[in-house]
A and B are shown apart, each in its own frame.
Chain A
């Protein structure tokens, strides 16, 4: 299918280049419903993903604030908690069930609904057609369905917060037997079913989106846009989509089996269980809870790369633009993305070193896990060498890109510790682990996302975000991320386990009471600053400074050749042809040379 056929009746939207006549772009008959709700325009779907992700991030972030209050101030009561949580916080003190539900939902929401749906949903939808030179996705209709399945999954998961027995509370990894037996745990009753259904809908959404991203990138590049001229964002999003398409179905299989264990008397993951609460021995035999862990982590590990690869792509692009230098080692960047994609499928059992895995098998997974340090280090060195002697422009997007590299290094190095099965015996399920993954995939991915939002906001909404608020947002978040997670390394090395709601009963850990309080205080400040970002985002959509030139950052890629507020179809008239790669910055004395500029007589092919 050609690009021209991808959207219906294109041409009628192509009216004006001129910023002052931007409203003309939408003059053809489109109702509110088809334009903003059931839109098939990839740019609108991007905004739907982004705004849904922001709402989810606020909910998930608020949850962490609430359980952080418990951890920082275990002896205090907060009467306002009872106002919002009711019986889950009787007298202003969280119940253990509520604490577990909060950490479980915090993990689920942030990992899947914010940093997967919100991050790659937003930027794959926005950047793929714009940067490869396509009118829209290969199938705009499936793309729309992808969002609405995401929305439906979101509604199901959100409603689980309001049912009587509460949402799932067995940890975001939902290990059986806890997640399979309603008698074992309040949250393993209806809440767990909502979790499974919500996640199944999410998997469908991710599949529909992923298929679209892959086929669009492979099939619909404009003339001259060979694979090696693609911006690194697109390479990253391609590998992300491949990871998602191949790993989410395995989670789906696990969820199907879990559903049968929960409701149809099967024993896939259950064997020899006695429930103390009801004083009953269960008839299940022959199943294996370890099997579920294998199925879960076969998705779960690629999932962390599904989260971090788009962030890496966004950072690479924004960094080259704002260093006014070509990205260092383009092919090495692509190669390392590829290596990470392959290795992502071969390391899942390093999450299971202490579950009784055969130590010999563990040693194989140690080797494969540590191999990931190689492509990761290649990427880090390439970012640093891109910055080296660049003419750095410290835009908010650039600051977050640099911050990403800092956080990724800090969080990545501790990965080498816990990737060793012997060290992992001590560090597993401690705050060291919490610190590691929050830095390397939580905060780092958020930095990538912020970098992308600040950088492409002018393209999305035709306005800039407020810079002052952006700088405050950056510095407080960077300092806050380190102040929150750095101390957790010490707590974890001292053996402080995760998933406990109160440590004051252990003399080994109550020396950290002051530190925990400090972490909570910083978390409160950081959360407030994120709310400021959200305010900045929505305020700037309506009141931000207007963009007056097509290419405000002086970037080479195709999205900046579209009108300031592109209509459905992106380009007025012909789609531009591409003659060079995306990184001709500071070449031959020119500040930048867009991809659409033909090669000069003295230039060689890229």
Chain B
């Protein structure tokens, strides 16, 4: 059996990790693929039901309020802010990971702190939005919004909205918890003693994934 042996480095010959990927990082990537299938299944279910419905509420009408100010002249203002916050928290996470590469403990702490704040801010926004919708009469099994063509809408608009944004919010929440643990470990100097900040990198992968999923959730529920 002749095998094609690549010229130069034999990555797959055993005794080392192919591509020098540490096992935990590899696990994280496979976990994210798995989780992508979870979200994929939920969003495809949403698409299926929506496509088989005669009409659907107009997101520009449903999501038009802003805390304190009330109704906005432009639609989707609040969710744009939420999205901006989450994307900024991804930026600060990149900076935290970068600081980790330089073994700069103080900078890691600073950027992790802002990432945690960003995550908490996003969750608070979501809590406000849920509360607001709930007060308007929307909940699982209840949908006060009319279809875009003025006909009565089925409750699946709110059913999917609360289930999928809730599932995403749960992921953000777990991400914040992970980041807080990372913050404490950095603060205590655990990674400094280890000599590397790989754990921050893995937490970062998860955080970016959660952000990426939000882009799809945002597109499905607010834009389409």
Contacts and interface: CB of A to CB of B under 8 A. Distances in A.
Interface stretch (B74-82, B87-95, B153-161, B201-209): B153-161
Interface in B3-62: 3, 10, 12-15, 17-18, 21-24, 26-27, 30-31, 33-35, 37-42, 45, 48-49, 52-53
6 contacts: A138-B23, A257-B42, A257-B45, A268-B45, A287-B49, A295-B45
A545 interface: no
A257 B53 CA distance: 18
Interface in A116-145: 132-133, 138-139, 142
Nearest to B53: A286
A604 B1 CA distance: 9
Nearest to B15: A223
Interface in B167-223: 167
Contact of A266 (B35, B38, B140): B140
A70 interface: no
Interface stretch (A241-249, A426-434, A450-458, A524-532): A241-249
B18 A207 contact: no
Given A224-B15, A245-B34, A266-B163, A219 B26 contact: yes
A147 interface: no
Interface stretch (A182-190, A225-233, A481-489): A225-233
B139 to A, nearest CB: 8
A469 interface: no
A245 B33 contact: yes
A210 B27 CA distance: 9
B163 A260 contact: yes
Nearest to A212: B27
A301 B154 CA distance: 32
A103 interface: no
Given A218-B18, A226-B13, A253 B154 contact: no
A215 interface: yes
A371 B10 CA distance: 34
A249 B15 contact: no
B27 A138 contact: yes
B1 A330 contact: yes
B67 interface: no
- 6 A-B pairs with least C-beta separation: A265-B141, A223-B15, A286-B154, A225-B14, A253-B41, A221-B14
A252 B163 CA distance: 13
A166 interface: no
Interface string A433-449: 00000000000000000
Nearest to B152: A285
A425 interface: no
Interface of A: 1, 132-133, 138-139, 142, 207, 210-212, 214-216, 218-229, 245-250, 252-254, 256-257, 260, 264-268, 285-288, 291, 294-295, 298, 330-331, 577-578, 581, 604-606
Nearest to B18: A218
Contact of B1 (A207, A228, A247, A248): A228
B37 A286 contact: no
Contacts of B154: 267, 285-286
Interface residues of B, number: 42
Nearest to B159: A266
B156 A250 contact: no
A241 to B, nearest CB: 9
Given A225-B14, A288-B52, A330-B1, A214 B156 contact: no
A291 B45 contact: yes
B149 to A, nearest CB: 15
A286 B12 contact: no
Interface of B: 1-3, 10, 12-15, 17-18, 21-24, 26-27, 30-31, 33-35, 37-42, 45, 48-49, 52-53, 140-142, 154-156, 159-160, 163, 167
Contacts of B38: 249-250, 252-253
A225 B26 CA distance: 19
Most buried by A among B2, B23, B160: B23
Contacts of A221: 14-15
Most buried by A among B10, B22, B45, B160: B45
B71 to A, nearest CB: 28
Contacts of B34: 207, 211, 245-246, 248-249
Contact of A254 (B23, B41, B140, B160): B41
Given A247-B37, A249-B41, A227 B23 contact: no
B14 A224 contact: yes
A139 B26 CA distance: 12
Contact of A606 (B1, B14, B37, B39): B1
Contacts of B37: 246-247, 249-250
B171 to A, nearest CB: 13
Nearest to B17: A219
A605 B13 CA distance: 12
Nearest to B13: A226
Contacts of B48: 288, 291, 294
A353 B154 CA distance: 28
A140 B87 CA distance: 35
Contacts of A256: 42, 163, 167
A25 B52 CA distance: 64
A215 B23 contact: yes
B13 A253 contact: no
Contacts of B33: 245-246
B201 to A, nearest CB: 14
Contacts of A139: 23-24, 27
A138 B25 CA distance: 11
B15 A266 contact: no
A341 to B, nearest CB: 14
A245 B1 CA distance: 31
Contacts of A295: 41, 45
A578 B15 CA distance: 10
A82 B142 CA distance: 46
Given A286-B53, A295-B41, 16 more contacts: A139-B24, A210-B30, A215-B23, A219-B23, A220-B23, A221-B14, A226-B13, A250-B38, A253-B38, A253-B41, A260-B159, A268-B49, A285-B155, A288-B49, A291-B48, A605-B2
Contacts of B22: 1
Contact of B141 (A142, A211, A264, A577): A264
